[in-house]
Each structure stands twice: as C-alpha cells, then as structure tokens.
A and B are shown apart, each in its own frame.
Chain A
C-alpha cells in the first residue's frame, strides 16, 4: 500500500492546527450556548404576533418555497408541540392553520388542533369556551374531507360530540363514518376501516341515545371482530381480555334492559298524560307511581355577572343538574354559522366575540344543590353583549350514572314532576328504535310498533328521553344585577 509522504512543513502545520481547531470549535459551542437563551427570548416575543406564520423565522418559509411542504409542516409541528408544553396557546392556532394548509394530510394536526380548540380555551375556573366548538368541528370536517381514508379524524369528531358536546346523534354518525372508512392495506386495522375501539364507543353512544338494540348489535359486531383477532393469536392476553370485556358488556346491557323493562306491560302502562311513556301504574295495581322529582330552582344575580343557582330536587345523590347561560339566540346563530361556514372560521378559527355561553353542572346531594357561577372575570369570553338571555337548568337521565337510570329508566320512563317540568327530547334519531329478543332467546320483546307517538305529525317509534328542565328568559339588566330575577321569568316548557 503506497502512502503519500507530505513535506515536513505541511505535517508540522497539521500538528499545530489540531489543538487550535479544537479550541475554536469548543468556542463556537460555547458561543452557541450564549446565543441560545437570547434567540429563545426573541422567538417567544415573536409568538404573540397575529400573523399566520406565528412569528416564525424565515427558515420555515424557505422549505415550502422549495416545494418541501410536508417537511415544513413536520418541522412546524415540532415547534407547535413545544408551544403546547410551554402553554403558549395563542401561538398554536395560526400554526395549526399553516400546517394543515401546507400538508392537508397531517391528520394528527387536525385532531390535535381540534382538541386544542375545543378543550384548551377556558375561563378562570377552567370552564371551556363553548364558542370554539364550531371552529373545532369545522376543522375536523375539513380534515375528513382531505383524508377520506383515515378513520381517526372521524373518530375524534365522534369523541368530541360524545364527550364534550354530548350530541350523541352527531357522535354516532361520526363513529359510523369512521367504521365505514374504506380499508387500506397500510393501516394497522386492515382489513377493517377503523380500530375495534370505534365499535365499542359507538355501542356506548347508542346506549346513551336509548338505542339499546343497536348498541347490542354493535357489541356483537365488535365481538365477532375480536373473536377473529383472538383466533389468529389465541394466546395474546390483550385480545383475551378484550373479548371477555365485550362479552361482559353485552351481558350487562341485556341484564339492565331486562331488569328495567320486562316487568312492565308496555301496552298497558302507557301514560295517559300528555307526556307519553311515563309509566303510570294501571289502576288498582300495587306498582308505585312515577317518581316525582319536584324540582325547585332559584337563580339570582347577587353581583353583576355573578350568579347563584340553588334549589331542591328529589333524586338520588350523584345526579347532576346541568346549567347553561347563553344569549337567547345562541343556538340559532350557531346553526347559521354551521350552515354557512365563513372564511373567518376556517382561516382564523374566529369565534363571535359578542356571543356568550357558559355550561356547567351542579351535583345534587341530599336533594339539594347550590353553585356560584362567576362570569365577571373573563370579559373576553363572556361579553354579555346581547339584550336577552336564556338560562336553562336540565336534568338529563341519559347522561346520568347507571344507578339512577336503574331507578327511573334509561329514558326517564319512571319520572315525573308535579310542576310539569318534564320535556321530551324531540330528537329525530329515535326513529325506528325497537326491541329485540333477549340474549338467550328470552328478555324483552318489543317489535317497536306497540308504542307509537307523534313527532311533527309523523308516527314514529322509539324511546325519547324525558328531560327535567326549567328555562329562564332574562334581560341583560337582570344579569347585571340591576333588576331582580323572579319566577315570572321562567318560560313554560310548552311555550318553547
């Protein structure tokens, strides 16, 4: 092997240069360590900027300029992640928007961004800003449009409706869409479109809707799939326990169903009052009368924008009374925003500054409830710009815990209120709900036709939930504590 022999002076230079090189290189690292905090400080100053680039250095714009859109999006996401950790929430939204524009297939950015919108904007007492739900869901829908073959975004949409919005029909639609996603070979769940958990959560959603037979059917679908999984890998403990859990869930659902309904003759126990399905015992029977919750609500404004709700309700401990304070026309405006999604929502996730909404719950203990709602500290969230407001107190048996459902039925069949505070949840989803045969051939048998009732002049079959509800219509002055709030402000449920 021939080796080059360098002249002596070159070799000497090498010997001399190496230590100098090391010192200089170490010096660059030292300098970098000095510069870093300043750069960080500088960048944090930039983050508050109201620009779409979120105050990012030119380096992030260079990549997309050269066509590396996905790469840029990926790097931005690293940056965004840091903002989550540092709690720099304002900086995140423009970044989410920029990333999803750069890379419309970044499904996790759609999901995380939507989650951020729906959950992370809160008032000083951690109540989230419901106004962000529209932009959040619009972002998810855009993600679904861009990624029709990725179930996760629909799953997130479903979960948000299930967990946050409690709109179970929207949740069911989204979960169904996730399940119906066309399977693709690259996915973990192939040959299925969506992960198994989607079936589980859809079954729970159906149960919340009162669509018990569909819930059971969904569990059975899940069971078939997990059995298949188990057959492929019979010793996988996760699969074994999952399969067992599903079986158990079906059993429990049947058990509850059976215990709650089979003792009653549905034909005969139809409530003759204007509230259908509240089960009144036939004359002369020893079955107890429907349970009277006897709701009393008192709503006061001791100080401007600070409210006190209190009262009594004849129900087991653990029940929660929902309260919602909003502009009178909040829902109407919200519907409109959903119908005609403005550029502002899609481009800037803008909320209507002049809209006010608060949602909270108060728990009932020993038949009493009491809660203070302070809306005075967050003027950006609660502007109180409208003239008229709606304050609604609701007890929804569907979202309550099972031990209360066991007493009064899934849909509140065993509930009544002397003050006629019962109102039917007239959601069209209840169409076509019917009873099925039991797990082992026995159990409730209801063909779905035996209990007809009318919605909008149409005869439909199903199980509407019975909500216990009190609604106030209040003026701005009343909320500011300038005028008293009395029982006269309660709007009868019939009038709504």
Chain B
C-alpha cells in the first residue's frame, strides 16, 4: 500500500521531467523514421524497420531509465521532502521500494508507448501482428527493470552525476556477456577468473539482447518460452538482490 502510494506520486513527478520527454520523443521519432530508412536502404526494408525500431526502443529506454532513476532518491533528500515522508509511518524499505516501483512504472509507460507505436507501424506495413517483435520489446523492458534497480541501488550512496556514469558503465560491461563468456573459458586463469567474475557477479544485461535472432527469420530460438522465462526470472531476482542491498545501505543513511 505505502510503496504503491509512493510509487504513484513518483510516477507523477517523473513524468513531468522534460529530459524524459526529450528521450521519449527522440525514440518515437527514430521508430517513425524506420519506413523512410527502409526505403533508402538496399537491404530488406522490413529488416531495417525492425532493427531500427528495436534499437530506438533500447536506446531511448536506456536513457530514460537512467535519467529517471538516478534522481528519484537524491531529489527527495536534496529538497528535504524525504523528512516529511520518513517521519510518517513509512519504513525506509517501503520508501526505496516505492521509489523503485515508481521509476519502473515510468519506464514501463515509456517503453509501452514506444512499443505500441512500433508494433502498430509494423502492422500497417505487414498487416499482421508480429509476435516476435512484441517479445523483443518485452525483453528490452525487463532489461530496463534490471537497470532501474541498478540505478536505484547506486543512488543510495552516490551523487546523480557519479551514478550516471556508474550505471552506464555497468550496463555496458554487463552487455558484453558474449565477450565475458568467451573470456571465462580462456586458458589463462587470470583472464578466465576475471571473465567469470564479470560474467556471473555483475548484472548480465547481454542475456536480453535477442534483437538479431528475432530480426532474422532464419534463426529460431529453441525453447523460446523457457528462455524468456529464465531471463525474466533472472531480471526479477537480480533486481531483488539490488533492492535489498539498496535498502541495507539506505537504512544506514542519514537524511
């Protein structure tokens, strides 16, 4: 209840941020450019439309998630609104959870908006609803869930500027799962251990990158449902880990 009330208020506050709208509109613009680029490109225009759309959702989603989530808690502390909240019967974990849910709902609204525009655009071109594209959007969405948790986690002990680079950096490194996976099986123990640490300890954002496989019709994802479910569970469990850590740190924080 309380986290939901906080989340509700957080979404309203976040949706007012101008920078979020800039990224959302850029994302929508890029998606809308798909058919134009498809027309210009020598490649199959459907492929261009699809890859551009998914890339736009990912990129805009990435920035929206980061710029939204890094500010949620620091702004409350800076404006001292947190005093009025924490002096009410609100547990600190409820506050963190509420902020996370609010940030996440904001991201959801944005990705859903872009996703719907994207799917409708494809529908107008192909006259059918592409299920695999929907899955692509869903995977991006869960990738952003994990990123939101990461940014919230960092925001309990860093400033927004530092957090921006930290979140971005971990997202990048976590995205190189194919590289870290190769490194993990390197014969050099130093390299392989470093690879394993990055691969298993850091949040593995690369798991969610299925754009290539769904864009190219020749590739099939075997046991697609299991794969998706595993990734979704991974995102949720890892987010829980990050949020628990965030709460433990925030519990000690003097506001």
Contacts and interface: CB of A to CB of B under 8 A. Distances in A.
A and B touch in the complex (CB under 8 A): yes
Given A21-B241, A28-B234, A63-B172, A39 B219 contact: no
B185 to A, nearest CB: 8
Contact of B223 (A38, A45, A57): A38
B178 to A, nearest CB: 6
B219 A46 contact: yes
Contact of A13 (B213, B230, B233, B251): B251
A42 interface: yes
Interface in A36-85: 36, 38-43, 45-46, 48-49, 53, 55-59, 61-63, 75, 78-79, 81-82
B206 interface: yes
Contacts of A81: 182
A32 interface: yes
Given A13-B251, A45-B220, A59-B206, A39 B172 contact: no
B244 A62 contact: no
Contacts of A27: 237
A163 B233 CA distance: 55
Contacts of A41: 222
B237 A28 contact: yes
Given A46-B216, A79-B179, A59 B172 contact: yes
Given A28-B238, A31-B230, A36 B216 contact: no
Contacts of B8: none
Given A24-B244, A32-B204, A6 B179 contact: no
B209 A58 contact: yes
Contact of B241 (A24, A32, A79): A24
Interface residues of A, number: 43
A418 B176 CA distance: 68
A10 B251 contact: yes
A57 B211 contact: yes
B179 A75 contact: yes
Nearest to B221: A42
A101 interface: no
B181 A39 contact: yes
20 contacts: A10-B252, A13-B248, A17-B248, A21-B245, A24-B240, A24-B244, A25-B241, A29-B200, A32-B204, A41-B222, A42-B213, A43-B178, A45-B213, A49-B212, A57-B178, A58-B58, A58-B211, A59-B206, A62-B172, A81-B182
Interface of A: 4, 6, 10, 13-14, 17, 20-21, 24-25, 27-29, 31-36, 38-43, 45-46, 48-49, 53, 55-59, 61-63, 75, 78-79, 81-82
Given A31-B237, A32-B207, A53-B212, 4 more contacts: A32-B234, A38-B230, A42-B210, A57-B206
